[in-house]
Chains A and B, each alone.
Chain A
Amino acid sequence: MRAGPAIRRLLLLTHISTSVGLVGAVTGFLVLAMAGLSGSTVGQTVYPAMDLITQYVIVPLALVTLALGVLQSLITPWGLIRHYWVLIKLVLTIFVVVVLWLQLGNIRLLAGLPPGAFLGSEWVTTKFSMVLHSGGGLVVLLGATVLSVYKPAGLTRYGWNRRYGHAVASDLSGPDREGPESA
């Protein structure tokens, strides 16, 4: 299935906006998580804010980014599993969504703690976990952005067989032997 240039460009614009927005939102989350490590009463403000950002910004953006990335790859010549950079981006984004999903309980838990609970040392591990996971997520998302921009060459075995398999068998070459020029 192939989409026209106008739809592809609109999808690309939306995909870039959501994925870069996600990087920004996770950066904000990371800054708040680091502020929450101070152990002072700042946690009463920081963790509810992190919960709100997660619910209304990070989770929606992550899901939309994943969905649009899959859709975009399926309606363009790039395909979903033909090029390593697309496949690796897909794996990285799924990984981020799964880790985010696993962290939702802890974020909600910290946001619901009573005033003064952050002064004790019993929440240090959970608070540090927020920094660790958001920092790691940010690195992974930036890696996915680098892949999107540089699009390093490399066909997967499936992509290679699809492009060259029948050409090798019949010794034919046609205009579709070249890689996608856009997307």
Chain B
Amino acid sequence: MVHGNRKAAGQPHATPRWVKVLGISAIAVVALAGLVMVTGIGGSHGPWRHMSAAPVQESTQQ
């Protein structure tokens, strides 16, 4: 598969549409995950939970 062509040499750089779509989708997913964590819908979940010495809050006691 050949990428680019000589015609592109005379044109300014442009971000491909598929990259823009992917970027917008990634932002939407991150925003949705942030919303879920901030509103507490997803429970006590989030990356910060892994940062402490104790990985989770739950107790091991029965």
Contacts and interface: CB of A to CB of B under 8 A. Distances in A.
Contacts of A179: 1-4
Interface residues of A, number: 36
Interface in A149-174: 151-155, 157, 160-161, 163-164, 167-168, 173
A11 to B, nearest CB: 19
A123 B58 contact: yes
Contacts, number: 79
B9 A164 contact: yes
A125 B40 CA distance: 12
A180 interface: yes
A32 B46 CA distance: 22
B60 A178 contact: no
Interface in B1-41: 1-6, 8-10, 13, 15-16, 18-19, 22
A113 interface: yes
A83 B3 contact: yes
